[in-house]
Amino acid sequence: MKVRQFEDKFLAHYSYAILSECESKIVLVDPGRNPEPYYNFAKANQAEIIAVVETHSHADFVSSHLEIARTTGAAIYASKKIEAKYDLTPFDEGDLLAFGKIVLKAINTPGHSYDSISVLLEHDGVPKYLFSGDTLFIGDCGRPDLRESGGNMDAQREKLAAKMYHSLRDKLMLLPDDVILYPAHGAGTLCGKALSDAASSTMGEQKAENWSLQPMSEEAFVNELTSDQPIIPAYFPFDVELNKKGASGFMESTGRVKVTDSKARQLEPGVWVVDSRGQEEFKKGHLARSINIMDGTKFETWLGSMIDPSEEFYLAAQDIETLERLIGRTASIGYETRIREAFVSKGGEQTMPLLDLENFKEHQDQYTIVDVRNGSEVSANKIFSNSIAIPFADIKSRIAEIPLDKPIAVHCAGGYRSAIGSSLIASLIRKDVPVLDIGEHIKGFDQQLVYNS
């Protein structure tokens, strides 16, 4: 038997291939959008992919389960509660998937979502691995507020959080301490708030160290799990529904995107331009209605936070190679179909002034300071006492809250989100109001030394 873990570092996503060496058969768990790594693994081991297991309908990435099933003939296993639009083999409590000396057992573990399952792998009758999906992470558990909509949202989240409490205690904590834990996500995902950067653990380690497995009342657990969670990107509900339906082929879909070495003669009015160039080049010159989402580790997450899935957008980059790479990353959240056109950017007539750091240090009262971090970050450390806190994903809906009587200085925790937030604000307000990005300079400010209004 062999278990191979695949990592998408940009989405902090782990997927798995389980190989029965005696039968040369493979079962995949929670595959990402691009199926090629799994095909390559199967080819290298001269094995056949016979099944794909989905632990739930994912919110933060698009799975290739349907494409793999159509290409290889593999069956798709998932809970019947997933309400899939494709043919699946129901995989719920008591159901087994056996191949070689391996038996996969479904465990219904609602909490992150109602359709969540975990998968216990037994080899020669001995429990060896737990593929926990978004139920149990290393250091945390899945958040209960990403998937459900309509009605009383707070009540639904609390109901799911209560289910998580019992899934962990009545199901997963009963497993032997030496069972190896393989989650669907690591540190950096928005599916939890306190994940470790480790790629695997054991149930014994988690019982000792994971806050969500410690002795506490259901009420205390629910309060902790539902508080101070990060933002919910706009694309999450879109991906849930796309995964229920099944996405089109990766290469087929990305190949439809129009890519040029220069922008269209005239851009469609009202359509956002996502400019992935570095912030220095962006500030020197960019097109109107541009958002500076740089080519960095969180590109797809912030793209899906700033652009609604109902919107189309232009994608701009410094060269064709970068465009093609970013189109692939965009496809990992299903947004390749929203690209009106992808083109190489040579700049534009719009500019953004640079921050006069010394003037800002001495005269902070002469600026409107906008903090675009998450609410929990602001609560833990409000850097400027006179700042206005608006999470950068909420800027469009809350732009009217920003006064226009002073230059606007925007900050986050390190410079990436402030580049996005400042460019978006500049696109939405009057052009005579300067919008300045504090950027990496924020690291030099100490809470005790800031201006006190």
In a domain, 395, yes or no: yes
Q: Which amino acid is at 7?
A: E
pLDDT of residue 101: 95
Same domain, 111 and 6: yes
The tokens of 267 are what?
Answer: 């851009």
* Residue at which a domain ends, from 236, 261, 292: 236
pLDDT at 450: 42
Average pLDDT, the chain: 92
Residue 349 lies in a domain: no
Tens of pLDDT along 297-317?
999 999 999 999 999 999 999
From 174, 202, 236, give the residue that closes a domain. Answer: 236
Average pLDDT over residues 143-156: 64
Q: Over pLDDT 90: what percentage of the chain?
A: 85
Q: Under a CB-based contact definition with an 8 Å cutoff, are residues 42 and 26 in contact?
A: yes
Residue 156 has pLDDT above 90, yes or no: no
Which whole number is the average pLDDT over 77-99? 97
The number of residues making up the chain comes to 453
Give the model confidence (pLDDT) of 329-372 as tens digits: 999 999 999 999 999 998 999 999 999 999 999 999 999 999 99
d(CA 337, CA 205) in angstroms, rounded, equals 42
How many CB atoms are closer than 10 A to CB 224?
A: 14
**Tokens matching residue 231:** 């933002």
SS3 state of residue 105 = strand
Q: Is residue 154 part of a domain?
A: yes
For residues 335 and 364, membership in a common domain is answered with: no
Quote the strand ranges of 294-348, DSSP E.
Answer: 313-317, 339-344
257 and 225 within one domain: no
CA distance from start to end of the chain? 64
Same domain, 401 and 309: no
Q: Which tokens go with 156?
A: 């639904």
Half-sphere exposure for 412 (CA within 13 Å, toward CB)? 18
Q: Enumerate residues 6+ apart whose C-beta is below 8 A from 420.
A: 291, 292, 293, 302, 306, 372, 392
Q: Cβ atoms within 10 A of the Cβ of 187, count?
A: 16
Name residue, tokens 């090629």.
36
Q: What is the CATH number of the domain that holds 192?
A: 3.60.15.10
Query: Which of 186, 202, 236 is at the close of a domain?
Result: 236
CATH of the domain at 405: 3.40.250.10
Closest to 75 (Cα-Cα) out of 94, 90, 61: 90
Question: Any residues with CB less than 8 A from the CB of 148 and at least 6 apart, and which?
Answer: 113, 114, 156, 157, 160
Same domain membership, residue 374 and residue 330? no
Question: Would you say residue 352 lies in a domain?
Answer: no
Number of domains in the chain: 3
> Is residue 242 situated within a structural domain?
no
Pair 339, 407 in one domain: no
Are 194 and 211 within 8 A, CB to CB?
Answer: yes
Provide the pLDDT for residue 151.
Answer: 46
Percentage of the chain lying above the pLDDT 70 cut? 93
Note whether 155 and 269 are same-domain residues. no
- What mean pLDDT comes out for the span 416-421? 95
Contact indicator for 57, 33 with CB cutoff of 8 Å: no
- Same domain (yes/no): 424, 291: no
Question: What's the confidence (pLDDT) of residue 331?
Answer: 98
Do 381 and 437 lie in one domain? The reply is yes
Q: What is the pLDDT of residue 191?
A: 53
Domain that holds residue 438: 357-449
Q: Is residue 135 a contact partner of residue 213, using CB atoms and an 8 Å limit?
A: no
Cα gap 16→27, rounded to integer Å = 8
pLDDT tens digit sequence for 211-270: 999 999 999 999 999 987 777 889 999 999 999 999 999 999 999 999 998 876 689 999
pLDDT tier, 287 (very low <50, low <70, confident <90, very high otherwise): very high
Q: Mean per-residue pLDDT for 400-429?
A: 95
Let me know: does 118 contact 96? Beta carbons within 8 Å: no
Both 338 and 392 in one domain: the answer is no
- Strand duo 368-371 + 408-411: pairing: parallel
Residue identified by tokens 């139920």 is: 135
Q: Give the pLDDT score at 447.
A: 53
Kind of pairing between the strands at 25-29 and 48-53? parallel
Inside any domain, residue 241? no
Predicted pLDDT of residue 159: 93
Give the model's pLDDT for residue 195: 58
Hey, what long-range contacts does 91-95 have (CB within 8 A, 24 or more apart)?
91/53, 91/117, 92/117
Would you give the distance in Å from CA 280 to the centre of its chain? Answer: 26
What does R_g of the chain's alpha carbons equal in angstroms?
A: 23
> The tokens 């064709």 sit on which residue?
320
pLDDT at 127: 98
- Taking 80 as the threshold, does the pLDDT of residue 320 lie above it? yes
What single-letter DSSP state applies at residue 17?
Answer: E
Kindly indicate the confidence band of residue 319, based on its pLDDT and cuts at 50, 70 and 90.
Answer: very high
Distance between CA atoms of residues 105 and 92, nearest Å: 8
- The C-alpha atoms of residue 300 and residue 298 are separated, in whole angstroms, by 6
Write the single-letter amino acid at 3. V
169 plus 278 within the same structural domain: no
Contact 8, 58 (CB under 8 A): no
- Residue 426 tokens, joined: 């500049």
Judge if 292 and 335 occupy the same domain: yes
| Dihedral angle of Cα 414, 435, 315, 350, to the nearest 10 degrees | -140
33 domain-assigned: yes
What is the rounded distance in angstroms from the CA atom of residue 31 to the CA atom of residue 189?
16
| Half-sphere exposure at residue 447, Cβ-oriented, CA atoms within 13 angstroms | 7
Phi, psi values for residue 290, rounded to 5°: -105, 145
Mind listing the pLDDT tens digit for each residue in 31-76? 999 999 999 999 999 999 999 999 999 999 999 999 999 999 999 9
C-alpha of 58 from chain center:
10
